[in-house]
């Protein structure tokens, strides 16, 4: 499944994804960096620092708010370079997923999927990123559970993915769920 043209067939084009709508008032974009490992694909995530005022300790894809005049693809690539040191020249964009809305912060997140080379070393942005994590799609799929969590003091039932000691939930889990529904390894 590491063939870029095969992945393109399974994903939306960025133009198709841009036509879809999701809940949210502020546009943001994330990059889902993938690299091959044997017969699997590995996705790259960040663990946000525990001392941040927003989304502390959460697992997410590199990404952030769209800057004025910036294409959402540029946003995803810029944020990946800022957060984990992944240069745009090292990413082959192969598609996109439908946008995902956040309920508490009212973001409309546009996920883009890019292939990268395996075995690179990361440069986490010290102010925001605690560490860079790499999870195989197989491990994510095996770690799926529908759980009841507390969000802002309210119980929510949501998809989660547990890999080792790490819990992926919220908008990131919804993006993972969409990725796994399209890409089978």
Full residue range of the structural domain in which residue 76 is found: 4-134
Residue with the bigger pLDDT between 57 and 75: it is 75
Amino acid 153: pLDDT: 66
Q: How many structural domains comprise the chain?
A: 1
Per-residue pLDDT band for 55 (boundaries 50, 70, 90) equals low
Residues 34 and 42: beta-carbon distance below 8 Å: yes
Q: Average pLDDT of 133-153?
A: 86
Distance CA 152, CA 9 (A): 38
Tell me if 151 is assigned to some domain. no
Tell me if 76 is assigned to some domain. yes
Tell me if 74 is assigned to some domain. yes
Distance CA 96, CA 19 (A): 12
Tell me if 18 is assigned to some domain. yes
- Tell me: the pLDDT tens digits for 65-78? 999 999 999 999 99
Distances in whole angstroms, Cα of residue 32 to Cα of each of 52, 62, 108, 154: 22, 7, 16, 29
Tell me if 112 is assigned to some domain. yes
Helix residue spans in the chain (DSSP H): 4-10, 14-18, 72-84, 137-142, 170-182
Instruction: Tell me the CATH number at 80.
Output: 3.90.79.10
Tell me if 125 is assigned to some domain. yes
Tell me if 79 is assigned to some domain. yes
Tell me if 9 is assigned to some domain. yes
Report the mean per-residue pLDDT for the chain. 90
């Amino acid at each position: 499944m590491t063939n870029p043209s095969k992945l393109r067939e399974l994903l939306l084009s960025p133009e198709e994804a841009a036509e879809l709508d999701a809940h949210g008032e502020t546009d943001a974009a994330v990059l889902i960096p993938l690299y091959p490992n044997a017969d699997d694909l590995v996705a790259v995530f960040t663990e946000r620092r525990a001392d941040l005022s927003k989304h502390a300790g959460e697992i997410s894809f590199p990404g952030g708010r769209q800057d004025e005049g910036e294409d959402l693809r540029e946003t995803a690539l810029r944020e990946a370079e800022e957060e984990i040191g992944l240069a745009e020249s090292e990413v082959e964009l192969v598609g996109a997923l439908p946008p995902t809305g956040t309920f508490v912060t009212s973001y409309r997140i546009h996920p883009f999927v890019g292939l990268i080379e395996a075995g690179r070393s990361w440069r986490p942005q010290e102010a925001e990123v605690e560490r860079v994590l790499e999870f195989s799609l197989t491990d994510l799929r095996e770690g799926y559970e529908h759980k009841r969590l507390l969000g802002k003091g309210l119980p929510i039932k949501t998809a989660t993915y547990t890999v080792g000691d790490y819990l992926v939930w919220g908008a990131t889990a919804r993006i993972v769920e969409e990725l796994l529904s399209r890409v089978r390894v």
